[in-house]
A and B are shown apart, each in its own frame.
Chain A
Amino acid sequence: MNIESREKTVIEAGQGSHRYWQDLWAFRELFFFLTWRDILVRYKQTVFGILWSVLRPLLTMLVFTFVFGKVANLPADGGVAYPVMVFAALMPWQMFANALQESSNSLIGNEALISKVYFPRMILPISSIITSAVDFLISFALFLVMMLIYGVSFHWQILLLPLFVGMALLTAIGTGLIISALNVSFRDFRYIIPFLVQFGLYVSPVGFSSAVIPEQWRLLYSLNPMVGVIDGFRWCLLGEHVVFYWPGFLASIAVMVLCLVVGVRVFRTMERGFADKI
């Protein structure tokens, strides 16, 4: 074998990897295997197994319908049944929340891998996010059944749903990258996440329609990227009952992009120290 036919790698101080993104692509199979592992492991040795991804949103929906719909007596979007409206928002929210939790803990959860094997570390937080997308698909199937039961008709906008799924996932990746990287050095963040997720559930328009927010605050409110995602979901699924709020959508997109850019930057900078710090 001569030198020409062999792949040449140069390791130098302070260089990171020159070919980081090519490396990321080269390791795509590892990405799939890690995702596959997370999905396989998720419900091993549980009695209800995959049913859990149905039960959790269903129970939350019942409570929210009761609290916000009955007790607080908030109006539903354009006369859609309250449970349907809540569930349409719960799907992306739970996907986002799970994704954020999984990705934040992905690095410290895979300590052995980080200290023993090389691969672009970004694979870990991103692959852990895919699991929540699988959970989402299951609850989405449940939602379709609900639509039939409540007699909500389908609209062409449903075709745009993947756009908003992607938006939720990208937001989760952006935030997840920042938090997972910081989590390696500062374990404080594992306490922040559960709080953030719980807090976000009430701040985001999950249990109520964002139409109840006073008009002058609505744009500010949309700086929470999940507001854009949830509004988008309701618009896609509930059709003409919902009015699409463009300024809010654009604001959410802007924040999402910001999260992603900052996330990748922070992650790339901190990544070098992972093996030494974890």
Chain B
Amino acid sequence: MSTAIRIENLGKKYTITRQRQSGSGYVSLRDVLSDGTKRMVQKILHPRGERGGERASGTQEFWALKDINLEVEQGDKLAIIGHNGAGKSTLLKVLSRITEPTTGRITLHGRIASLLEVGTGFHPELTGRENIFLNGSILGMSQREIKRKFDEIVDFSGVETFLDTPVKRYSSGMRMRLGFAVAANLESEILVIDEVLAVGDAAFQKKCLGKMDDVSRSEGKTILFVSHSMGIIQQLCNKAVVLDSGQISYTGAVSDAVNVYLQQKDASYHLHAMEPYISFLGLNGFLSSPEGIRFSVGFKSEIDLDECFLDLAISDMSYNKFYYYIDEKKQLSARSIKAGVFYFDVFIDHLNLNSGFYAAALNFVSKAGVILFRADSIGFPEIFTPHNFIHPSALLACPCNVVCRSGTENVSEKKEI
């Protein structure tokens, strides 16, 4: 195996200019000129003035990526995971040469094609046929290559009936299928894909994953894949990197990376100074499905809250299907809560889920309907079911109990997973 991508000390800095109150979204030349004049006048008036201070008030430095060191072998299917704003997309943008790094260097061996968006450059007025050629050449295919692969592309997209219809009349699903069909036939050694499978129906998603798996296996293609869908990542990738605020916090096996990601506490969720504490009760690594699940979520509130609700959903890792949803008013309503630490204990007696990975999402909602706290991706231990259910969604009706208690007791008793 040889190295396909080597990243050394990569960093990308953005300078954020604070937006003027009166300003529209754009920087106008007038602003720049007036700022420049102001600065010049100040320089003349205070030749030894605190220039640093003034600068700090106007702009702010922000490292979207910092000290990234990574080596990707040829044929690897590497997942890049992390919360929103962790730097995943910036990394892909730097890799695909859309934007320049601030520090460090990247060495790529082989042609790189990046798919940061499906159907980039599709022109709505052009027909499907014309757009295949346009999109293909935008993604770096030569005309000859597109001609040779044309039938395959059309076949994969399944839109042959509408080839001569302007793309603006396509449904969004058709547009996406066409876009992916072009990208799937790219002849590059390295393929970079950013969260493009989030849309599209399940059948097509499966087809795309199959195709990607195929090309990486048979052609030794290296794939870098960004997704929030842990299911897809576990299915497709053989290695993973977890990014956290622009830095790599984990490199290695996919399953471990998924755990690291799911346990990362996201600072942006700390609303109203509440500290989430999540733990599972009475579980030994994995869970046999009809047994049920119990978990508790802890909060710390600085203020008294009255009439809050806990809203709970259980979904598979790709957020495709939600298996559980509890009506906030009937079941999980909490009474007034005093400032301090308190817990919600959730008991679900019969968790009729099929084998696999699941996660819970919690919303803690105030009386007025404001979401006070939100926790996504609370990973469950792997669920093992001897006999899979045909209609797992039927479990919507299964009973669930929530107890709200305050105080600091029992924390040590619980096992964190």
On A, residues with C-beta under 8 Å from B are: 1-3, 6-17, 29-30, 33-34, 36-37, 40-41, 44-45, 110, 112-119, 185-189, 272, 275-276
Contact = CB atoms under 8 A, between A and B. Distances in A.
Nearest to B32: A186
Nearest to A42: B125
Nearest to A11: B106
B105 A112 contact: no
Contacts of B104: 12-13
30 contacts: A2-B2, A3-B109, A6-B109, A6-B111, A8-B108, A8-B109, A9-B112, A11-B101, A11-B105, A11-B108, A12-B104, A12-B105, A13-B102, A13-B104, A30-B138, A30-B140, A33-B143, A37-B123, A37-B126, A37-B130, A37-B134, A40-B130, A117-B96, A117-B121, A185-B27, A186-B29, A186-B32, A188-B28, A272-B100, A276-B99
A9 B30 CA distance: 40
Contacts of B2: 2-3
Given A41-B123, A113-B121, A13 B100 contact: yes
A9 B134 contact: no
Given A3-B2, A6-B189, A30-B137, A187 B28 contact: yes
A41 B189 CA distance: 33
Contacts of A2: 2
A17 B98 CA distance: 11
Question: Chain A binding site: helix, strand, loop or mixed by DSSP?
Answer: mixed
Contact of A7 (B99, B103, B110, B117): B110
A189 B95 CA distance: 32
A92 B94 CA distance: 42
A272 to B, nearest CB: 5
A116 B116 contact: yes
A112 B137 contact: no
A13 B97 contact: no
Nearest to B135: A33
Contacts of B140: 30
A45 B130 CA distance: 16
B156 interface: no
Contacts of B121: 110, 112-113, 117
B107 A10 contact: yes
B104 to A, nearest CB: 6
B42 to A, nearest CB: 23
B120 A186 contact: no
Given A1-B189, A116-B117, 7 more contacts: A1-B74, A6-B111, A7-B109, A29-B143, A33-B143, A117-B114, A188-B30
A1 B219 CA distance: 10
Contacts of A15: 100
Contacts of B99: 275-276
Contacts, number: 118
A186 to B, nearest CB: 4
Given A33-B137, A188-B30, A41 B125 contact: yes
A276 B29 contact: no
Given A1-B220, A3-B2, A11 B130 contact: no
A36 B262 CA distance: 48
A45 B105 contact: no
B211 interface: no
B360 interface: no
A117 B189 CA distance: 17
Nearest to A185: B27
B367 to A, nearest CB: 42
Nearest to B143: A29
A122 to B, nearest CB: 15
Contact of A113 (B27, B107, B120): B120
B139 interface: yes
Contact of A186 (B28, B100, B106, B143): B28
Nearest to A187: B26
Contacts of A10: 105-108
Nearest to A110: B121
B98 A118 contact: yes
Q: 3 closest Cβ contacts across the A-B interface?
A: A118-B97, A11-B106, A33-B137
A116 B109 CA distance: 21
A115 B108 contact: no
B338 interface: no
B133 A117 contact: no
A3 B103 CA distance: 25
B251 to A, nearest CB: 20
A185 B29 CA distance: 8
A12 B101 contact: yes
A12 B138 CA distance: 23
Nearest to A10: B107
Nearest to B2: A3
B101 A276 contact: no
Interface string B243-280: 00000000000000000000000000000000000000
Contacts of B142: 29
A17 B104 CA distance: 15
Given A9-B108, A12-B101, A16-B100, A113 B26 contact: no
A8 B112 CA distance: 10
A188 B138 CA distance: 29
B189 to A, nearest CB: 6
Contacts of B139: 117
Contacts of B389: none
B83 interface: no
Contacts of A41: 123, 125-126
Nearest to B136: A33
Contacts of B14: 276
Given A3-B109, A33-B133, A187-B26, A11 B97 contact: yes
Interface string B115-159: 011001101011000100110011110110000000000000000
Q: Which of B98, B133, B189 neighbours the largest number of chain A CB atoms within 10 Å of its CB?
A: B98
